[in-house]
Amino acid sequence: MMDLDPRLYENVSVSDNDVRDIVLSYLVHNCFKETAETFLSSTGLKLPIDYTVDVDKRKAILNFVLEGDAVKAIELTEELAPNLLENDMDLHFDLLSLHFIELVRSRKCTEAVEFGQKKLTPFGKVSKYVEKLEDFMALLAYEEPEKSPMFHLLSPEYRQNVADSLNRAILAHANLPAYSSLERVIQQSAVVRQYLQQEVGKDSYTPFSLKAFLSK
Q: In this model, does residue 72 exceed pLDDT 50?
A: yes
| Alpha carbons within 13 A on the beta-carbon side of 168 | 13
Categorize the per-residue pLDDT at 156 as very low, low, confident or very high, splitting at 50, 70 and 90.
very high
Angle between helical axes of 55-66 and 33-43 (0-180°, round to 10): 140
d(CA 9, CA 61): 42
3-state secondary structure 36-85: HHHHHHHHCCCCCHHHCCCHHHHHHHHHHHHCCCHHHHHHHHHHHCCCHH
Categorize the per-residue pLDDT at 2 as very low, low, confident or very high, splitting at 50, 70 and 90.
very low
Inter-residue contact 85 to 74 (CB < 8 Å): yes
Q: In this model, does residue 9 exceed pLDDT 60?
A: no
More confident residue, 40 or 18: 40
Among 50-59, 103-112, 148-157, which is the least confidently predicted range? 50-59
Categorize the per-residue pLDDT at 52 as very low, low, confident or very high, splitting at 50, 70 and 90.
low
Inter-residue contact 79 to 171 (CB < 8 Å): no
Highest mean pLDDT among 33-37, 95-99, 173-177: 95-99
Of the chain, the end-to-end C-alpha distance in Å amounts to 33
What pLDDT shows up at residue 33?
A: 80
Q: What percent of the chain has pLDDT over 90?
A: 54
d(CA 13, CA 4): 18
d(CA 31, CA 129): 31
Mean pLDDT of the chain: 83
Report angle CA 13, 18, 20 to the nearest 5 degrees.
130
Q: What is the pLDDT of residues 73-123, one digit of tens each?
A: 999 999 999 999 999 999 999 999 999 999 999 999 999 999 999 999 999
Residues in the chain, overall count = 216
What pLDDT shows up at residue 145?
A: 94
Tell me whether residue 62 is exposed, middle or buried, using C-beta atoms within 10 angstroms of its C-beta: 0 to 12, 13 to 18, 19 or more.
buried
Q: In this model, does residue 47 exceed pLDDT 90?
A: no
d(CA 210, CA 134): 34
All residues at 6 or more sequence positions from 43 whose CB lies less than 8 Å from its CB, including other chains: 20
More confident residue, 39 or 105: 105
The pTM of this model reads: 0.76
Categorize the per-residue pLDDT at 189 as very low, low, confident or very high, splitting at 50, 70 and 90.
low
Q: In this model, does residue 1 exceed pLDDT 50?
A: no
What pLDDT shows up at residue 201?
A: 59
**Helix intervals (H) in the chain:** 16-29, 33-43, 55-66, 70-80, 84-87, 89-105, 109-115, 127-138, 156-173, 181-199, 210-214
